[in-house]
Homo-oligomer: A and B are copies of this chain.
Amino acid sequence: MIKQYLLAPGPTPVPNEVDRAMATTMIHHRTPQFSKIFSEARERLKHLFATQNDVLILASSGTGAMEAAVSNLFSPGEKVLVVNGGKFGERWVKISQAYGLEAIQLKVEWGKAVRVDVVEKHLKVYPEIRGVLIQASETSTTVLHPVREIAELTRNGPLLLVDGITAVGVLPVLMEEWGIDVLVTGSQKALMLPPGLGFIALNDRAWQRTETAKLPRFYFDLRLERKNQQKNSTAFTPAVSLIFGLHAALEMLETEGLERVYARHDRLARATRAAATALGLKLLAPENPSPAATGIVLPDGIDGENLLDVLRDQMGVTFAEGQDDLKGRIIRIAHVGYMGAFDVLVAVGALEMALKKFNHPVKLGQGVAAAQEILMEAIL
């Protein structure tokens, strides 16, 4: 019997309240009963996205919503600037290329945030750029990009498309105030749901662009979707039980209060970083760390894949591994979603024990103590 602790940045743990809501007896989606739930969820999503515009709910993963952003806003051959500092920056590149856009890649060293002045320079060199595609939080490298500052640069220029998949609900991403044109997220992160829903909001400027954009789209035709969702229905069959869960999850977030939700994520992330530092471990993103997850560089000689296997199979603790060049060299501990102080203690306690098992000289309890110091903020 090994109790399971899911501490990877998506899927994240699903609270009982959400599980129960999803277990509601199936209803038909073309009914006033469904429309009421859908309408209430839509209103709460606007608050989460900090926008007055529609937040469309799609039956897709977050990648579907990213694709919808591209296919609804551009025309064949157009140039976009893609900030590529990790697996999800790379995904923007692949989507753009699949649709025949010319993706100008602004490559960023994994673990670093993009520099605002470098973005600015690119926009000057390529005035024909029609869109800037970026992650608010690059999950693969646990980095926050300076979206707010970049939005200042694009306000009267190219559209700014932000992948907020591990940012929305984790930290403030103020769509309207900052001037983000398109903001995307998915269900299995801060929204505490299973995977299966994508979310996308466009501001007025972006909606105008959908009228002239010539890329092909059908399932993800956002104009059609908006028309239906404004009547609290959907263009195609919605993922009914996930919508029930969404309704419950948004209610939980509202009850906690978004400011407290953001403060919680920040506190858990700071506690984890303090623990890693106390254990003499290096952070993957020491300068611009995301509160969604903490990347920790493993000591030389420790095989990260073996370490993660022991943690998962012998201890029941699932962290995320590194990707591509970082495979086996880092671990990522998530804070996003239904996470509390004791998830950090479990994560750090387990990491200490696993490192010790791998003969790394670690003082048990040292990282835990550093985390506890910070976690105590919440009870003082």
Chain A residues with a Cβ under 8 A of chain B: 1-3, 5, 23, 252, 255-256, 260-261, 264, 310, 314-317, 338-343, 345-346, 349-350, 352-354, 356-357, 363-366, 368-370, 372-373, 375-376, 378-380
Task: Give the CA-CA distance A246 to B176 in the complex, in Å.
Answer: 54
Given that A342-B350, A372-B353 are known contacts, is A252 also in contact with B364, CB under 8 Å in the complex?
no
Given that A365-B368, A365-B369 are known contacts, is A261 also in contact with B1, CB under 8 Å in the complex?
yes
Please name all residues of chain B whose beta carbon is closer than 8 Å to the beta carbon of A364 when the two chains form the complex.
368-369, 372-373
Task: Give the CA-CA distance A255 to B369 in the complex, in Å.
Answer: 36
Q: Which of A349, A365, A372 has the most CB of B within 10 A?
A: A365
Please name all residues of chain B whose beta carbon is closer than 8 Å to the beta carbon of A357 when the two chains form the complex.
376, 379-380
Please name all residues of chain B whose beta carbon is closer than 8 Å to the beta carbon of A376 when the two chains form the complex.
353, 356-357
Listed A/B pairs (10) with beta-carbon separation below 8 Å = A1-B255, A3-B338, A5-B342, A314-B378, A316-B340, A345-B345, A345-B349, A345-B368, A349-B368, A365-B369
Please name all residues of chain B whose beta carbon is closer than 8 Å to the beta carbon of A255 when the two chains form the complex.
1
Task: Given A316-B340, A345-B346, output 16 extra A-B contacts at Cβ < 8 Å.
Answer: A1-B338, A1-B340, A3-B339, A3-B340, A23-B23, A310-B379, A315-B379, A316-B342, A345-B349, A349-B372, A353-B375, A354-B379, A357-B376, A364-B368, A364-B369, A368-B369
Return the chain B residue nearest A13 by Cβ.
B3
Please name all residues of chain B whose beta carbon is closer than 8 Å to the beta carbon of A350 when the two chains form the complex.
342
Task: Give the CA-CA distance A342 to B338 in the complex, in Å.
Answer: 17
Please name all residues of chain B whose beta carbon is closer than 8 Å to the beta carbon of A3 when the two chains form the complex.
338-340, 342-343
Task: Give the CA-CA distance A370 to B352 in the complex, in Å.
Answer: 13
**Cβ contact within 8 Å between A2 and B379:** no
A365's partner among B2, B338, B341, B366 (CB-CB below 8 A) is B366
**Cβ contact within 8 Å between A352 and B372:** yes
Return the chain B residue nearest A343 by Cβ.
B3
Top 3 A-B residue pairs of the complex, sorted by shortest distance between their CB atoms: A365-B369, A365-B365, A3-B340
Please name all residues of chain B whose beta carbon is closer than 8 Å to the beta carbon of A369 when the two chains form the complex.
363-366, 368
Task: Give the CA-CA distance A373 to B47 in the complex, in Å.
Answer: 47
